[in-house]
Amino acid sequence: MNDKQTNHIGTVKACIRLANLQENRAVWDGKPPLAFKADLATLTTDCATAEEIAARANSAAKGYADAKEEAEDKLEKACFKTARALASFFKKSSDLARLAKVDYKIGYYQKLRDQHLITAATDLITIGTAASSEPGATDRGVTPALIAQLQTALTAFTGVDAAPRTGIVSRSAFNLESAVEIESSSN
């Protein structure tokens, strides 16, 4: 939610708290205009509704970030696990050319972001698929199941990576709804 809306909600809440203080209630409670008490109750309800809408807008954006971080972490770990198995196999078979393509520490995968991580995972899948059918690969952990786990993590990450557009649209809609609610409350 933007700062203007946050400040507006905060100001309205402060006014409601001030009006409901015991020393201030004596000024308006039971005195004309008698509709003030009902209007204050309506304002309190409307402010709570606007605050709920704002909270949903913030959680829509945060939910995406958490899901992306989790999917990215799983993909990084799956890449590293697959790379370790491939490195072990290529060392054993003295295939130094392919060993050089996969012999990285987990920090390498953790430093990659978005498209570069997707590319690295795709390369590992390609190399792993070819290597899994070679003799002795399963003894070193290079199995179709391992490649499938990496593919699953990659699919999950690419699905979440495309999700921010949806989150932005949802957040914009919530912000608009919140602004309308705030404006109607203040009238």
pLDDT in single tens digits along all 187 residues of the chain: 456 777 788 888 888 888 888 888 888 777 777 778 888 888 888 888 888 877 776 665 566 777 888 899 999 999 999 999 999 999 999 999 999 999 999 999 999 988 999 999 999 999 999 999 999 888 888 999 999 999 999 999 988 876 655 555 555 666 666 666 656 655 5
* Sequence-ordered list of residues with C-beta below 8 angstroms from that of 2, at least 6 positions apart, any chain: 175
The pTM of the full predicted model, rounded to 2 decimals, is 0.58
* Sequence-ordered list of residues with C-beta below 8 angstroms from that of 135, at least 6 positions apart, any chain: none
